[in-house]
Amino acid sequence: MKILLNEQQIGLGIDRLAAQLKLHYHDNPITVVAIMTGSLVMLADLIRRLEMPVCISLIQASSYRGGTKSGDLVIQDRMMLDITDRDVLLIDDIFDTGKTLVQVTQRLTAMKPKSIRTAVFLNKLGQSVVTAIPDYVVFEIPNEFVVGYGLDYQDLYRNLPFVGVLEDSDLKNHSSV
């Protein structure tokens, strides 16, 4: 598998994000809302670099039904904290078409937080179909299907410590998974 971002690069990227968040939020408490399951690894790495008080809340959104094609978005918010009047940072693994981040942001806005900002680990250049853009992007990547650091193909590869480009041969090998 071709490695796009190695562990060291990723670590430095998350350091940068934590520093940007400190500049904006200072010591004010924030609630990090992580879109499951893709942002799980980013969540664990980011929160350990934050010095302000942090609450963690989970929301699930699934748009890729197993493969690499986009499907309808299903949002499940049963694990959400009460975010009324809180400063919320919504994080996701990747901004592709942008539909997931936009729809989850709308869902959270309805819960009346004090503020919402968005941070994504990856931004796939040229793929967005929405006008909104994330407030923070850790890395820009070309339009390739990537896995690792939380990102999956058919729920596999999330545990890779690096980001790799899935090749056609990998896709074929897992057609039965």
- Give the CA diameter of the chain: 49
Answer yes or no: 77 catalytic: no
Catalytic residue among 96, 135, 152, 168: 96
As measured in angstroms, the least distance from the Cβ of 146 to Mg ion is: 11
As measured in angstroms, the least distance from the Cβ of 138 to ligand IMP is: 14
Phi, psi angle pair for 70, to nearest 5°: -75, 135
Q: Which of 133, 127, 74, 76 is nearest to 102 (CA)?
A: 133
95-114 residues in contact with ligand IMP (CB under 6 A) are 95-100
63 binds, among ligand IMP, Mg ion, none (CB under 5 to 8 A by kind): ligand IMP
As measured in angstroms, the least distance from the Cβ of 143 to ligand IMP is: 9
Return the number of the residue (59 or 147) whose C-beta is nearest ligand IMP. Answer: 147
Dist. CA 13–CA 120, nearest whole Å = 11
Collect all residues with Cβ–Cβ distance below 8 Å to 61 and sequence separation of at least 6: 35, 36, 73, 74, 75, 76, 100, 103, 104
b/e string for 15-34 if b means 16 or more Cβ within 10 A?
Answer: eebbeebeeebeeeebbbbb
21-50 residues in contact with Mg ion (CB under 5 A) are 38
Return the number of the residue (69 or 78) whose C-beta is nearest Mg ion. Answer: 69
Dist. CA 32–CA 34, nearest whole Å = 6
Return the number of the residue (25 or 43) whose C-beta is nearest ligand IMP. Answer: 43
**150 belongs to the binding site for Mg ion (CB under 5 A):** no
Contact positions vs Mg ion (CB under 5 A): 38, 64
Contact positions vs ligand IMP (CB under 6 A): 38, 63-64, 70, 92-100, 145-147, 151-152
Residues annotated as catalytic are 96
